Amino acid sequence: MRLVQKLMPASKWKLVISSIGVIALMVFAGMVLYEATKAEVTITDNGRQQTVSTHQDTVEELLKEVGIEVGEYDEVSHQLEASIENGMKISYITAKNITVTIDGNKEQFYTTASTVEKFFADNGLEFGKWDEVSHNGQDLTEDGLNIEVTQAYPVTLEDGGKETEIWTTGGSVKDFLNEHQVKINKHDRVTPSTDERVTKGTTVSIVRVKKETTEINEPISFETETKYDDSLAKGKEKVLTEGRKGEILKKFEVTYENGEEVSRELIDKEVIDESVDRLVAVGTKEPQTETGGGLVTLADEKSNTTANRSSSNAGADKQNKESSPATSKNQTSGKTYTMTASAYTAACDGCSGYTATGIDLKSNPNKKVVAVDPSVIPLGTKVWVEGYGEAIASDTGGHIVGNRIDIHMSDKSKAYGWGKRTVQVKVLN
């Protein structure tokens, strides 16, 4: 500097200094003016905010300036061709790739929605209450998200006779019932079985089964027993003991299906009051007539080949048994009796199954057969029994005496069901 000062006069040096100052001032002023003409813009990039000063003319140029490449599905708050203005606020969101798989079918989507719910709404995706969706509507979206959807379908439920349509996404019958809080009780029947899978068109049927125990008091009818009495005239009857009905308590298990009774099973019975049988004396004494100087029975007037009857009961019984079937049938044909009828079955432990006349009832369980007192109705006689129909008198029994019969039933339940009753019995031949 000292050398320059020596070589250059002071006046000229001052002029140079002044020129440099003017130039510097002009440069500075230009720089200030350049900066002053920049536009100040706020950019929000996927939630991150920055403020920039720029001389770029368009939004697209500005975004490129800050390193943002706008993709096809990205969201920008302004048109890319829009002019930059001072104080402008530009928002930019990068689109996310989301895969939606519905019942195994995949589809790609691009979205700028922040939540799954907004994404569904933007793309018109609607799912029902019973559809299975892998993500909640409030879950945030992210690039590469995969949403799985299984759509529900209707299944018919018949519950206790009432039919409804219920939506499900599948699984077993058990899963289906649990999903819809359908309770199955101990005796209920479910079709198909609970481990089978439900599909479109499946009908799940529930038969509501209820078992109850009930008690019923029933009367026990009395029987009429006859006793032969040789002190009474033949054909006369005398009541020795009046009959009295008893009472029995029966306990049944009753089964209901969908509210309707379907079966009733006798599980116990108890006699509360025993019945008293009616006892009737039946006269066997023959009328007598006088001849000569003494009494002679009518039996004496019969053929000499006919044995005199005994006045005892044993004699009367023997006489009845020795009568020929043909003759007895002819004497009783068309006659109607009032009798006590009980029931029995050949289907019992220890029973041979053969009647007194040799009929095999085990091989012919539906054969209409009655046990009779042969002295009243001869074996082999065809009879009609009130409430039972036509039958053959083909059997006897230790308790079948006088006006009493025992009708044959095919099984125990029918025999119990018949019980003991008073019926009309008509001899047909």
Domains of the chain by residue range: 2-34, 39-93, 96-150, 153-207, 211-273, 323-427
Containing 175, the helix (H) or strand (E) segment is helix 173-179
Q: How far apart are CA 169 and CA 134, in angstroms?
A: 13
β-bridge pairing 89-93 and 39-45: parallel
* pLDDT score of 31: 54
Q: How far apart are CA 314 and CA 297, in angstroms?
A: 18
Q: How far apart are CA 194 and CA 158, in angstroms?
A: 14
Q: How far apart are CA 103 and CA 170, in angstroms?
A: 12
Q: Return contacts of 64-71, CB within 8 angstroms, 24+ apart.
A: 68/43, 68/92, 71/95
Mean pLDDT of 265-277: 91
Give ∠ CA 385-227-375 in degrees, rounded to 5. Answer: 50
Q: What is the dihedral of CA 307, 312, 318, 320, to 10 degrees?
A: 90
Higher-confidence residue of 170 and 33: namely 170
The residue type found at 272 is: I
What are the pLDDT digits (tens) for 360-394? 998 899 999 999 999 999 999 999 999 999 999 99
Tell me: pLDDT of 128 over 80: yes
Q: Rounded to a whole number, what is the largest CA-CA distance in the chain?
A: 216
User: DSSP label at 83?
Assistant: B
C-alpha of 124 from chain center: 41
Q: How far apart are CA 30 and CA 149, in angstroms?
A: 64
Name residue, tokens 């006659």. Answer: 335
Tell me: pLDDT of 307 over 50: no
Quick check: bond before 192 cis, omega within 30?
Answer: yes
* pLDDT score of 315: 37
Tell me: pLDDT of 323 over 50: no
Tell me: pLDDT of 302 over 70: no
* pLDDT score of 301: 32
Confidence (pTM): 0.44
What are the pLDDT digits (tens) for 45-72? 999 999 999 999 999 999 999 999 999 9
* pLDDT score of 129: 87
Report the percent of the chain where pLDDT is more than 90. Answer: 61
Closest CA to 423 of 401, 406, 399, 400: 406
Q: How many CB atoms lie under 10 A from the CB of residue 41?
A: 21
Range 323-427 classified under CATH 3.40.50.300: no
Which CATH fold topology does 211-273 show?
A: Resuscitation-promoting factor rpfb fold (2.20.230)
At 19, the pLDDT band (50, 70, 90 cuts) reads low
* pLDDT score of 170: 87
Q: How many CB atoms lie under 10 A from the CB of residue 326?
A: 10
Which CATH fold topology does 96-150 show?
A: Ubiquitin-like (UB roll) (3.10.20)
* Contact (CB, 8 A) for 53 and 38: yes
> Class for domain 153-207, per CATH?
alpha beta
Contacts (Cβ under 8 Å, ≥6 apart) of 166: 154, 155, 156, 157, 176, 180
β-bridge pairing 421-427 and 260-273: unpaired
Query: Does 39-93 match 96-150 in CATH topology?
Result: yes
Give the burial string for 121-131 (b: 16+ CB within 10 Å, else e): eeeebeeeebb
* Contact (CB, 8 A) for 365 and 410: yes
What CATH number belongs to 39-93?
3.10.20.30
Mean pLDDT of 76-88: 94
Cβ-in-10-Å burial (0-12, 13-18, 19+) of 120 comes to: buried
> How many Cα neighbours within 13 Å face the side chain of 42?
7
3-state secondary structure of 167: strand
Phi and psi, residue 415, nearest 5°: -65, -45
